[in-house]
């Protein structure tokens, strides 16, 4: 026993070690939310006022494609006949694989300039977790996001969602929540959604 190496891998309730691990973990949360969504759920309204489930899926796929494209991801052509889960995972997996190959150092192309790779990768976690909540709320399902993960993504959101991004890109003004609100509620409220819905 004395010669055994200690198991230093993070457990399921440890915070992510970086933006890329966070993106992987939040994709897992999103995938569990998407799994039961069926074709008859596509017209359900979501907390994003302008999107039903089908339109939210279009938005999320465009975001994944853009964020993956920053690091050269080759996203397969979308099959609109697939389930929402299959469509999202089919885009997200190659995007995350490309991020693993690129890593978090340096910058990536953004518009006519560049942005830090860490900041761009952080957007994936925010997209995955906030939209997981949107989907879960739309179809009346629970979302199971570990508290350390939600806290980590809330920290990313506070760095990434600057005032000039509000009103566009899916972020409205923050909604007030009680001081003792959970991290996921705080994240949802910070992104401009009402967690009491």
Weakest-pLDDT range from 11-15, 30-34, 43-47: 11-15
Residue 9 has pLDDT above 60, yes or no: no
Specify whether the CB–CB gap between 187 and 159 falls below 8 A. no
pLDDT digits (tens, 9 = 90+) for 119-130: 999 999 999 999
Average pLDDT in the chain? 89
Residue 176 has pLDDT above 90, yes or no: no
Q: How many CB atoms lie within 10 A of CB 50?
A: 10
At 114, which helix (H) or strand (E)? Answer: strand 113-116
Residue 11 has pLDDT above 70, yes or no: no
The tokens describing 155, both together, are: 């920290």
What is the biggest distance separating any 2 CA atoms in the chain, rounded to whole angstroms? 60
Domains of the chain: 19-142 (1.20.120.450)
3-state secondary structure (DSSP) of residue 45 = strand
Q: How far apart are the C-alpha atoms of 160 and 187, rounded to whole Å?
A: 12
pLDDT digits (tens, 9 = 90+) for 104-124: 999 999 889 999 999 999 999
pTM of the model: 0.90
Q: How far apart are the C-alpha atoms of 29 and 190, rounded to whole Å?
A: 19
pLDDT digits (tens, 9 = 90+) for 34-78: 999 999 999 999 998 789 999 999 999 999 999 999 999 999 999
């Amino acid at each position: 026993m004395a010669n055994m190496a200690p198991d230093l891998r993070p457990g399921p309730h440890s915070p992510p070690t970086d933006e890329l691990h966070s993106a992987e973990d939040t994709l897992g949360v999103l995938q569990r939310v998407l799994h039961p969504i069926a074709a008859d759920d596509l017209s359900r309204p979501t907390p994003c006022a302008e999107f039903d489930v089908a339109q939210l899926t279009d938005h999320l796929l465009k975001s994944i494609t853009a964020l993956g494209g920053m690091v050269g991801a080759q996203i397969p052509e979308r099959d609109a006949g697939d389930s929402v889960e299959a469509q999202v995972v089919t885009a997200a997996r190659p995007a995350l694989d490309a991020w693993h190959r690129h890593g978090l150092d340096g910058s990536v192309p953004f518009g006519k300039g560049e942005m830090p790779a860490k900041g761009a990768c952080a957007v994936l976690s925010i997209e995955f977790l906030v939209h997981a909540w949107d989907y879960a709320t739309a179809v009346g399902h629970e979302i199971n996001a570990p508290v350390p993960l939600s806290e980590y993504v809330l920290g990313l959101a506070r760095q990434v969602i600057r005032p000039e991004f509000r009103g566009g890109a899916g972020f409205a003004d923050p909604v007030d929540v009680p001081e003792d609100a959970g991290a996921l509620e705080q994240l949802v409220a910070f992104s401009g959604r009402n967690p009491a819905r």
